[in-house]
Chains A and B, each alone.
Chain A
Amino acid sequence: MGDNGAGKSTLVRVIAGADPADKGVIEWKGEPVRVHRPQDARALGIATVYQDLALCENLDVVGNLYLGREVHRAGVLDEVEMERRASELLGSLAIRIPDLRAPVATLSSGQRQSVAVSRALLGAPEAVVLDEPTAALGIEQATHILDLIEQMRERGLAVLIVSHNLGDIKAVADQVAVLRLGRNNGFFDVNTTPQEQIIASITGATDNTGRKPVRPWP
C-alpha cells in the first residue's frame, strides 16, 4: 500500500521486467535473479496485471489472452485451439464474456479487468502481481475481481496486490507492506494491526523509513 507517488507502480514494473531496475537485487525463492525483460519475469513464473491493463484494444479477447505466447505450428496460429483453451479458462474462473471474438475495445471496464487477470493466469504462474485491480471498477465488478483473487490464493498462488483501498486489502490480504516516498515504511499483519496504524504509516504520521522495519517479512 502507499499514497500517490509512493512508488507502488514503479515497483510493480520493476518486478515485471517492464522497467528494469537501475540497481538493487531481486531475489526469487532465495536466489538472486535478473529480470531485464517482461519475458524474464514470465519465465520465472511471475505474472503481472498492470493498472492500465496493457491490453491491445484492437485485438479480440482470445488474441489478448495469448498475446506474446500464441499457440502456433511453424508460425501459423492455431486459433481454434487458443479459443477452446480461452473459453475453458474463462469458464473455470466464472468470467462471462459473450463474444470471445469481440475486440477488447468493445468490452466494459470490468470485463477488461477480468480479461487482464485471466491473461495473467494463463501461463500457470506461481506468483501474480496486480496493480490497483479494483481502482477503475464499480462495486459489483470489484467484488468479482476480489473473488478471483481469493480463487488464486486457494489455488496456491502467491498474490501481490498494489492498492490504496484499505477495504480491499482487509478483504483479501494477509500481510501488508507500506511504501512511502519510494521506501519501505513497515510491514503489518492485516488481521492484528489496527487500521489507524496502517493509515498512519501510509500518510507518514509514523515514519519508519531509514529505520529497521517494525518486524521482518515473515
Chain B
Amino acid sequence: MAVNDREPPPGGATRYLRECLRLLRWGAGTLVTAWRVGRTGSLPVVLGLVVIWIVFESIDTDFLSARNLSNLSVDLVGMGLITVGVIFVLLVGDIDLSVGSVSGLAGAIFAQLNVNAGVPEWLACLIAVLGGAAAGAVHGFFVARLGVPAFVVTLAGLLAWNGLMLFILDTHGSINLDDQGLVATLTNHYFGNALIPLGLAALGLAAYLAVALLGRRRRTVAGLPGPTLGAVAVRAGLLGAVLFGAAGVFIGFRGLPLSVLILLVTLAVLDFVLRRTTYGRKIFALGGGIEAARRAGIAVEAVRMSVFTVSGAMAAVGGLFLASRITSVGQTSGQGDLVIDVIAAAVIGGVSLFGGRGTTWAALLGVLVIQSIASGMALLGVQVAVQFMITGSVLLAAVVLDSLSRRAQRSHGRA
C-alpha cells in the first residue's frame, strides 16, 4: 500500500476511497494493455450484457424473471446454432451471408418430406441437414477452388437458396409441423426434475476443474509455467456462478430446456474441435494468413471448403430449431434480419471479421446480447424500428472495437 507520505495519513473513508481508485486504475490499466495485445477475450461483451440486463431490469422488473430468461434462452438456440457455423467461416477470414436462406431451405425440405411425403422425421431431419451441408459445400467450392470472393458467392446463395425454398414450398404458403413430433420436441421439451440442471451444472464444473488441474499438473511435470491455483479457482468460481445461476433460472420456470442443453453441448464440442485439434489449428492458421498456411503445408482449399460445409450444416440444424419453435415452415422462414443478426452476434461475441480470432462461445454471448435487446424492447412495447436501430448501433460498436483492437495490436507488434 503506497500512502503518499507528504500528506498526513487519511482517515477511514478517504483511505478506502483512495484504495478503490487505485484498484480501479490498476484494473483499467490491465484492461487497456490486454486490449492492446488483443487478449481481452469475452470481457467487453460480458460487460455489455450486464449493462443491458441492468438497464432493462431497472425499467421493467419482469425482464430478469425466470420466465422471461427461460423463454429468451429457448428463443436464442436456433440463432445460436447458425452463428456457430458462421463463426467457422469468419475464423478463416471469409463470410457467409447465405445462412438465413439455407436455414429456411432446410426447414422447407424437412416439412415437405415429413408432412407431405410421409418420410420419417429422423430421416427427413438428416436429409435437411445434409442438404444444408451440400449448399455450404457448393459455396466452398466456388470460394476455395475458383477464388471467387465469399461475399459474392454467398450473396448469390442467399438469393438462390431462398428461391429453391420457395420452389419446394410450391403452392403451400406455409406447412404446419406435427406439434408432438421429434422436431417440435426439440424446443418444447423441458426436463422438469430440478436435479437434472443442478446435476449437469455440477458435472460441468467438475469437468472444468478436472481438465484445468490435470493440465496444470502436466505442465508442472514438463517444467512449464502454468496458471496459478488462485487463477484456476477464480475461473472455476465464475463458471460455477454462471452454471448454477442458469440452473436456478431454469428451475424457477419449467426446468432445463432440452434445446439449451443441445446448444451448450454443441458449443463445448466445437470449442474443443477449434482449440484442441489439428483441424481447428488449421482453421486458425488460415485466418492468420492464407499464404503462410499454404507454405506450412496445409491443404488450404480443403479446409476452406470444409468451413463452408460446416456453416451450411449448422445453418440447417439451426433452421430446424427455428421451425420447431413456431412448429411451422413458411415462405418467410430464414428471411428478414436473421443473417444480419447472426453475423452481428458473432462479431459482438468477439469474433474478428478479419479472421483468426474468436471462440464458439462468442455465439452464445452475441446471441444473448441481441436476444436480450429484442426481448427487452418487446417487454417495453418499443417498436421494432427502434430495436433495429439499437441492434445496429451495438453491431457498429462491436466492429469498431474489433478494428481498433486490430490496429492497436499491429502498432504494438511493430514497436
Contact = CB atoms under 8 A, between A and B. Distances in A.
A, B co-complexed: yes
Contacts of B223: 84
Interface in A147-180: none
B288 A54 contact: no
Given A57-B413, A68-B297, A63 B276 contact: no
Contacts, number: 108
A84 to B, nearest CB: 4
B383 to A, nearest CB: 41
A58 interface: yes
Contacts of B415: 108
A108 B287 CA distance: 21
Interface in B15-32: none
Contact of A58 (B222, B278, B288, B295): B288
Interface in B288-324: 288-289, 291-298
Contacts of B292: 53-56, 67
B288 A56 contact: yes
Contact of A38 (B218, B279, B297, B413): B297
B223 to A, nearest CB: 7
B218 A57 contact: no
A53 B37 CA distance: 20
Contact of B288 (A57, A77, A108, A109): A57
Interface residues of B, number: 36
B284 interface: yes
Interface in B260-275: none
Contacts of A52: 291
Contacts of B276: 76-77, 79
Interface residues of A, number: 39
B139 interface: no
A58 B284 contact: yes
Contacts of B291: 52, 54
Given A38-B297, A103-B37, A57 B215 contact: no
Contact of B412 (A18, A70, A106): A106
Contacts of B222: 80-81, 83-84
B386 interface: no
A63 B285 CA distance: 9
A96 interface: no
Interface in A52-89: 52-59, 63, 67-70, 72, 75-77, 79-81, 83-84, 87
Interface in A174-197: none
Contacts of B218: 80
9 contacts: A54-B291, A55-B289, A56-B284, A56-B292, A59-B356, A63-B281, A67-B285, A80-B219, A105-B412
Given A55-B292, A68-B285, A103-B37, 17 more contacts: A38-B295, A53-B292, A54-B291, A54-B296, A55-B288, A58-B356, A58-B357, A67-B292, A68-B293, A68-B297, A70-B278, A76-B276, A80-B215, A80-B218, A80-B219, A103-B409, A105-B410
The 10 closest A-B pairs by CB, nearest first: A56-B288, A58-B356, A68-B296, A58-B288, A68-B297, A54-B292, A67-B296, A39-B297, A84-B222, A105-B413
Interface of A: 16, 18, 37-39, 42, 48, 50, 52-59, 63, 67-70, 72, 75-77, 79-81, 83-84, 87, 102-109
